[in-house]
Structure 1
């Protein structure tokens, strides 16, 4: 009681604490691109690693985040990237957030399924979105920032499907791919069904990280089809089967491992930290 009385007396004597005016926190830089490919204005957000300003001669790989708007997955992945680099779990990178607007228009390929087209009439323009990344976004990033030419990409769900399609159809666009629980069910599993014809020597030097959550583990045919073909290329490949995680939880849980796989540090992390990329045994 005495302590409370003293505190009350002190507040009365000195008045309430005056807080300074708040200062905005700048996390990244936003670029507006007038896209001639997509015929509209698009936003790309860049988050630089903390070392960027301190090491002006250093160049960095680019980490592209699909569904990477500020209100999408950008802040989550940028935080994982910064923490991973700080602990030596993964390498530093320039994080490039690619905002999506109409995900089925931008992230899935053409379909002839009348039910899908009726429900999603704009679906099927992933090739244009890929061209936007290759011919408009990437040149801006490489012209504006100290990029070293290496680029990797991460995304989940429909963004994961887009990443798998890019790995199959235009593997030269990125050096590493992480598809977290990709929506391989889309269009009656059409993408995985043509994997045998699309995956081969072109993907041999590309890293591919695939993660599969509970829902897809219960109907794994599409993922197995894709994983078997990717593993046969001899590429750096990891399939993470996680039936203990759901589609809603797997991205948050596995993104640190995915970045460790895509952007391995120059020196292996200390064993006592427990950092490990856990890949399922090959069937």
Structure 2
């Protein structure tokens, strides 16, 4: 009993340390939205290298995360892990978490007309249908705030789960240029007789998308939620059918047999980011024999993404140190010149 109690104490202490560390690295800002006519709280985390004095001041892609109250504390360290050296799976990114005030209002694309099965005079989700305003807030007010106060690249990703996943796909359909890539975890595509599915069908028919757009969709098993699982399955299955015969969007669907609705966003966000940035990782050992390979791979990756990505100065420093330590003098010289070409003020 005493051993169990000690383990609980140690666990609680470790969790407290994680929470304190996380909070120390988060900027919590409040901005007033004229579009929504209310104050919104935003949580911002910048990469490790953002304030480094050892490298030139860089710009970073931005990830916009819905339901920050639930997702921020695990997505923040996830991004740092995925961007780690010497094998980064993605570039370092600024994380912007959006907390909720009226989640149903903001994330649903149409007004609900569904009557309560208990009380036919009551409309379920009555305060719904505000997705267009919420998207306008993010695009015209929040993005401007982030761009004016942080060093950002013009590349952004939207992450959402459940109603947030519904909002994410609806934003892709209605405003594909708002973001470069989208991750929707177990999206509530059953909403309003699958209205977003019909929007997507029409948008594809009208040629609304380019190949540089990315969409990752995760689906949970939800075997323990039989009461509403049927509608969820139908909505997602119909969406998959719509996207199965198109080549306008870089799309991947992944089914998680051992996950439920409330847990799928963790593996979904992890694998979704790896899908979007597939091809970003390079093999540092191969670069020792073929240093030109780095430029070739980044060029191919940038063409796939529809946006120019360059190896970070921090990563180039790591490569140079690796070449120096292992006596690859010619490759070291090559990367020193390459680094000088990209970051003129760094050497």
TM (norm. structure 2) is: 0.66
Alignment gaps of 5+ in structure 1: 1-21, 271-283
Determine if the alignment matches structure 1 residue 195 to structure 2 residue 200: yes
> 3-state DSSP class of the match of 1:72?
helix
Indicate if the aligned counterparts of 1:152 and 1:262 stay in contact, CA closer than 8 A: no
Aligned 8 A contact 1:159 1:182 in 2: yes
Task: Indicate which of 93, 98, 119 corresponds to 2:124.
Answer: 119
**Structural mapping, 1:67-216, within 5 Å:** 67-68=67-68, 71-86=69-84, 88-111=88-111, 113-115=113-115, 118-199=123-204, 200-215=207-222
Contact 2:112 2:123 in 1 (8 A): no
Q: 1:139 to 1:187 in 2, by over 3 A?
A: same
Equivalent position of 2:256 in the other structure: 242
Any idea what SS the aligned residue of 2:49 has? coil
Alpha-carbon distance, 1:157 to partner? 0.8
Counterpart Cα distance in 1 of 2:157 and 2:102: 23
- The structure-2 alpha-carbon separation of the partners of 1:224 and 1:45, relative to structure 1 and needing over 3 Å to count, comes to same
Partners of 2:208 and 2:281 lie apart in 1 by: 29
Residue in 1 that maps onto 2:60: 60
1:269: how far off? 6.9
Of Structure 1 and Structure 2, which has the larger fraction of its residues in helix?
Answer: 2
Moved over 4 A (4+): 22-25, 216-219
Q: Residue 36 of structure 2 corresponds to which residue in structure 1?
A: 38
Query: How far did 1:204 drift?
Result: 3.2
Residues in 1 aligned to 2:60 and 2:49: alpha-carbon distance in whole angstroms: 10
Task: Check conservation: 1:178, 1:262, Cα contact below 8 A.
Answer: no
Secondary structure at 1:52's aligned position in 2?
helix
In the superposition, the TM-score normalised over structure 1's length comes to 0.79
Q: Secondary structure at the match of 1:202?
A: coil
Q: CA deviation at 1:122?
A: 1.0
Is 1:223 the counterpart of 2:263 in the alignment? no
Alpha carbon RMSD of aligned pairs, Å?
Answer: 2.4
Shift of 1:264: 4.4
Q: CA deviation at 1:254?
A: 2.6
String of CA shifts for 1:181-221, please: whole Å, max 9, x gaps: 11112223222133210234425320000011113689633
- Contact 2:26–2:43 (8 Å) recurs in 1: yes
Higher relative contact order (CA 8 A, sep 6+): 1
Alignment partners' CA distance in 2, 1:25 and 1:248: 24
The alpha carbon displacement at 1:90 in A equals 2.5
Superposed CA offset, 1:68-103 (max 9, x none): 2xx321111112111111251222100011112211
